[in-house]
Structure 1
């Protein structure tokens, strides 16, 4: 235990060095050579002060905590408008470092009190380290960019900052029993609340870059890129896929690609387990690392760590190549750790393979697939479980031609997710349980996150079919305050309750700011006349267009030879 704490402390020293090097020091006018005397310092000083006050007022006007906003931004008396962004990123980083330090201290004090507390604190440390990486990337971008570049890449900043909020919330989610409350209360009051507030403020400032430009009288002819998450090339491919990746996707499974590693249970490949193949990923590997998994049921637990970027994992089909596990909350495993397959690495792609958790309804939270890495994509995959099947944890994710099955909150997380042309299969829950398809965790108003289902079929599993009208099934419920779920052009079966949505619970209904919307859906369950009044209800085509592939995720069209078409616009209207 002591070795682990010392290692973390050393990492913090390095992190602090990165923060100092990445984020510009905000200088006062006096430090820059300006006059601070009461007799005035010339017209420029007064003008700068007026501009500064105008900028702070504009930025803090719509902040949820205006006092905190002014406390953080008021000292930033500068002629460089990007320093407002740099300051909130720096302040957020300092809060995360404090939280990480505190999680180390609590591990020493309480790590031996129970297995649950130890698991939760260890997960917190991992998540907070991930948050630091997101903020490092944000700081580098701001430091090395002009205000014009910062504005153009504001969506990338929001993507990273949104992930920080996701990790902060996930850390708290891990303390979910009465016996763990004391530790979680200490961590929350001592540091995690500050992380949430300061990162939320950073999101507010990045979302208000146009206000900064206006305050400084900078007319750059730019529009905030609040939804420009990725760029599409001239052929309609998402830019995270290179030309070679597109070819690989077309050829994978058709004997047209040579994998770096082949997995086969019968010994006909280089590896008998998928984990061994993933761990064969060479250090400093360049380009796509390809793993072929032959047909078989692979009973193993797998994590793709963040250093193993750009893996393409493909099988012989979702009914033939299956990765299975049964870890579950009912048997004492924290939700995040129940995942059969977890990927933390950017650029992960899976094709023609299934991920499942067989704990069943009595296992409660039991994740089949957890996706944390940015720019992740799943094609022709099966994702099967019961409660909490797909943990779309953070960042940008795309699912196409998949089958996703479950019972309670079985698509959940804090990510920016688009699920398209897929079957959403609702299974029979345990006695006295009800079904909910989506539980999104958007906790800040400017997080660019939520779950969009486009052109999918929401249907009962054979196990539920006979009872589909008596077992209550809902489209979504608001896990966090700004929960967002959008349903566009789906075929919705009669299993869905007329009110469509339910509050999170009686104490925290989370209905005031949630955004649950529908457009162009068909089927017996698509009638919105009796939908919950706090839901957004039917939206216009113009509003729904914001959640199409290009503006929502920038993962537009795939060329036909990939075998994976992607709809960039409406398919039925």
Structure 2
């Protein structure tokens, strides 16, 4: 069984929150001081790779991030083309290999969307720090890219060890992951304020949920309860009721999932943007299923109880 844990994934900016959420503090003055790539790379997980990939010039952290993000977008497109090439050979591949490649194809497409969206947001801000909501949104997308990379790799590694395509994809997967890590680190260094404040629990008096609208804007709120006391008895029904292509200015569609064991696979369409879910806590709100990678019909990505519709 899988507990409903806090996570953030996909362009739809889905957030599952159990007790509290963190939001960036008010905007701080932008630091446009010119720095060398060696100095800025010290703030990344792999300074040597960062020094290798960034241009040999003096610039500010914002421009270094834009360079890394643009290069990340280019590499994402190249990786997708590589996966597409191998999928054309599907007749010579095992079923599990094809499934793994299809997952990587889908996830690579998401990464392209995430990077394009992040660049669009940041290219309109110049050197100004973002609002708390936009900062969290971009940071979520850049973090989700790393999750997508690991999910793709997990699926590839679960296929037969003799599969030659695995070896061909491992190197670009590893290099692209390092590049995405640089992009996330530079974004954090440039646009995310140095201090964070902890949001209050999302609870109110009527059903134990407090909504702090100073930290997060909520447009609508529905409750899922297996006993019929809420708006819906299943999570999927609540997700289906969320508006399509919601704008961030409208706020989040909040789904409160009461304690219980929900035996369902929650699939969220790409059109369901700015969707937030909270449960009653670990071992209280539980989402479970019985799909198994070992069963041969599911990949690591496809076996998850929470997922995105392809």
TM norm structure 1: 0.37
1:101 lines up with 2:66 in the alignment: no
Summarize the alignment of residues 118-129 of structure 1 with structure 2, pairs less than 5 Å apart.
118-129=98-109
Which whole-Å CA distance do the structure 2 matches of 1:229 and 1:136 have between them? 28
Alpha-carbon distance, 1:174 to partner: 0.6
Partner Cα distance (1:127, 1:60) in 2: 27
| Aligned mate of 2:266, from 299, 302, 307 | 302
> Which residue number corresponds to residue 548 of structure 1?
none
Contact 2:76/2:108 (CA < 8 Å) preserved in 1?
yes
Query: 1:71 and 1:308, CA in 2 relative to 1: closer, same or farther beyond 3 A?
Result: closer
Return 119-128 or 106-115, whichever deviates more. 106-115
Taking the aligned partners of 2:274 and 2:181, their CA distance within structure 1 comes to 30
Among 293, 301, 308, the alignment partner of 1:336 is: 301
Aligned counterparts of 2:217 and 2:76: Cα–Cα separation in 1: 34
What secondary structure does 1:327 align onto? coil
1:188-207 alignment, distance < 5 Å: 188-189=170-171, 191-207=172-188
Secondary structure of 2:306's aligned partner:
strand
Alpha-carbon offset, residue 288 of structure 1: 6.2
Match in the other structure for 1:164: 145
Query: Considering only CA atoms, is the larger Rg found in Structure 1 or Structure 2?
Result: 1
2:108 is the alignment partner of 1:136: no
Match in the other structure for 1:83:
63
**Higher mean C-alpha deviation, range 329-338 or range 275-284:** 275-284
Q: Distance in 2 between matches of 1:209 and 1:321?
A: 37
Equivalent-residue separation in structure 2 for 1:125 and 1:113 (angstroms): 15
Following TM superposition, by how much is the alpha carbon of 1:86 offset from its aligned partner in structure 2, in angstroms? 1.0
8 Å CA contact 1:278, 1:304 repeated in 2? yes
Partner Cα separation in structure 2 for residue 183 and residue 93 of structure 1: 23
Q: Does the Cα contact within 8 Å between 1:304 and 1:344 map onto a contact in 2?
A: yes
Indicate the residue corresponding to 1:326 in structure 2: 290
Determine the C-alpha separation between the residues in 1 that align with 2:189 and 2:275.
36
Residue of structure 2 in register with 1:467 after alignment: none
Q: For 2:302 and 2:136, how far apart are their aligned partners in 1?
A: 30
1:182 matched residue in structure 2 = 164
Indicate the SS of the match to 2:36.
helix
CA distance in 2, matches of 1:303, 1:335: 15
- Give 1:369-380 correspondences, 5 Å limit: none
Q: Give, in angstroms, the shift of residue 87 of structure 1.
A: 0.8
- 2 CA distance for matches of 1:131 and 1:296? 33
Structure 2 counterparts to residues 118-517 of structure 1, below 5 A: 118-149=98-129, 157-175=138-156, 176-179=158-161, 181-189=163-171, 191-209=172-190, 225-226=193-194, 228=196, 237=212, 241-242=216-217, 248=221, 259=231, 262-263=232-233, 275=236, 278-279=239-240, 281=242, 283-284=244-245, 300-309=264-273, 325-332=289-296, 333-339=298-304, 341-344=305-308
Given the superposition, is the C-alpha separation of residues 103 and 291 from structure 1 closer, same or farther in structure 2, using an over 3 Å criterion?
same
How far off its partner does 1:150 sit? Answer: 5.7
Report if aligned partners of 1:81, 1:147 keep a CA contact under 8 Å in 2.
no
Matched pairs, number: 260
Give the deviation of 1:311 after TM superposition.
5.3
Are the structure 2 counterparts of residues 239 and 118 from structure 1 closer, same or farther at C-alpha, using a change threshold of 3 Å? Answer: farther
Change (3 A) 1:143 1:252: same
| 1:391-450 C-alpha deviation (Å, 9 max, x unpaired) | xxxxxxxxxxxxxxxxxxxxxxxxxxxxxxxxxxxxxxxxxxxxxxxxxxxxxxxxxxxx
Distance in 1 of aligned mates of 2:102 and 2:195 = 34
**Between structures 1 and 2, the one with greater helix share:** 2
Confirm or deny: 8 A CA contact 1:141 1:150 kept in the other structure.
Answer: no
Structure 2 CA distance, aligned partners of 1:108 and 1:337?
21
Is residue 2:48 matched to residue 1:66?
A: yes
TM-score between the two structures when normalised by the length of structure 2: 0.63
